[in-house]
């Protein structure tokens, strides 16, 4: 596989869910690499403020990834802003409700699949045709190690991220020969509001900037999957080879039910209230 090199200097990059967390760190990293960045977010005011914080290389815009026409308006605004087509799309927006599967509300399940899965599908359907026509472009889907490794208390989130991993792998193959790449970045736990209040124990927590660096790096490497930290990705891939009784012992030692049992409800409530209002 070979892809035409993408020069980030002056390139146009769109990042979804960019008002805070991993999306904001990613937008900032792209701007620092010389790109122009469109930050889309459900929280328009925060996206505009975040873009102002980055400077003149950034544009903040309203975006609801679950609504294809909103997504199209965001991408149009980005292209009009620069008078140039999109070079890189980062599908980052996501939500993570937690709790026992049997306690979850149907509408929160629906929201999770709408944002985490259909948001990514909409973005690729809208951005890929132009990239294919030009024979040039890169899409990064921010999945999760929860797209490779099931965790108690995150069943529907697991389902959504497994979907993104599969979607990314299949579309990557379909793009063969077009010059366009599709990659997945799989973070472990990251210190953002999304994971706030959950004590994952031995699972390593990284900073949003670590994920941002991996996303920017993928423009050069075009790697199919990049896990952060890398060794957790190796462990997740190898886990399927471990006999189930042994894996249960390892899971218990690692508190694999943290998303149910090791939750600071007061802290977590702030995040859950935010996604409840979406
Ligand atoms: N934080 C972690 O531990 C972690 C781990 C693995 C993967 N991830 C993934 O990384 C991505 C970013 O997560 P984060 O931790 O930065 O979360 P975050 O909650 O800090 O930020 C997510 C942003 O997405 C926005 N958003 C939500 N729904 C949207 C919609 N419908 N349209 C547009 N914007 C929307 C929110 O307003 C918010 O600004 C998500 O896809 C998440 O699943 C996070």
Q: What is the pLDDT of residues 92-128, one digit of tens each?
A: 999 999 999 999 999 999 999 999 999 999 999 999 9
pLDDT at 201 over 90: no
Told to judge if 162 belongs to the known catalytic residues of this protein, a careful annotator would answer: no
DSSP 8-state secondary structure symbol assigned to residue 198: B
H-only helix segments in 97-229: 106-113, 119-134, 155-174, 208-221
Is the Cα torsion angle 17, 21, 26, 27 positive or negative in sign? Answer: positive
Q: Give 55's Cβ-side CA count (13 Å radius).
A: 9
pLDDT class of 204 with cuts at 50, 70, 90:
confident
- By CB atoms closer than 10 A (0-12, 13-18, 19+), residue 56 is exposed
Which whole number is the average pLDDT over 170-186? 98
pLDDT at 247 over 90: yes
233 Cα: distance to centroid of ligand 1 (angstroms) = 20
Q: Phi and psi (nearest 5°) for 91?
A: -85, 95
> Which range has the worst mean pLDDT, 26-35, 80-89, 217-226, 247-256?
247-256
Distance between CA atoms of residues 216 and 25, nearest Å: 11
Tens-digit pLDDT profile for residues 45-67: 999 999 999 999 999 999 999 99
Selecting from 3.40.50.1220, 3.90.1200.10, 3.40.50.720, 3.30.70.100, what CATH number does the domain 12-276 have? Answer: 3.40.50.720
In sequence order, what are the beta bridge partners of 39?
A: 15, 60
238 Cα: distance to centroid of ligand 1 (angstroms) = 27
* Per-residue confidence (pLDDT) for residue 1, from 0 to 100: 77
pTM for this structure? Answer: 0.98
Q: Which atom of ligand 1 is found nearest the CA of 23?
A: 16
Q: Which atom of ligand 1 is found nearest the CA of 271?
A: 19
């Amino acid at each position: 596989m070979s892809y035409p090199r993408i020069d980030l200097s002056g390139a146009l990059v769109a990042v979804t869910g960019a008002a805070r967390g991993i999306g904001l760190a990613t937008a900032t990293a792209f701007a620092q690499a010389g790109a122009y960045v469109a930050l889309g977010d459900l929280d328009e005011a925060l996206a505009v403020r975040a873009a102002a914080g980055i400077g003149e290389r950034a544009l903040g815009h309203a975006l609801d990834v679950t609504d294809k026409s909103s997504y199209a308006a965001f991408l149009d605004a980005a292209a009009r802003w620069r008078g140039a087509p999109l070079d890189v799309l980062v599908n980052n927006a996501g939500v993570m409700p937690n709790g026992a599967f049997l306690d979850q509300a149907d509408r929160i399940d629906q929201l999770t699949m709408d944002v985490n899965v259909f948001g990514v599908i909409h973005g690729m359907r809208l951005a890929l045709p132009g990239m294919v026509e030009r024979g040039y472009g890169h899409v990064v889907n921010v999945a999760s190690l929860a797209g490779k490794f099931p965790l108690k208390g995150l069943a529907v989130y697991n389902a959504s991220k497994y979907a993104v991993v599969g979607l990314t792998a299949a579309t990557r193959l379909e793009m063969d020969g077009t010059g366009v790449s599709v990659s997945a970045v799989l973070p472990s736990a990251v210190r953002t509001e999304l994971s706030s209040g959950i004590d994952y124990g031995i699972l390593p927590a990284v900073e949003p900037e670590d994920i941002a660096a991996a996303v920017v790096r993928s423009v050069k490497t075009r790697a199919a999957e990049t896990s952060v930290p890398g060794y957790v990705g190796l462990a997740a891939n190898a886990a399927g080879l471990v006999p189930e009784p042994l894996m249960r012992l390892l899971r218990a030692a690692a508190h694999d039910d943290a998303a149910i049992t090791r939750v600071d409800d007061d802290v977590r409530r702030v995040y859950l209230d935010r996604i409840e209002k979406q």
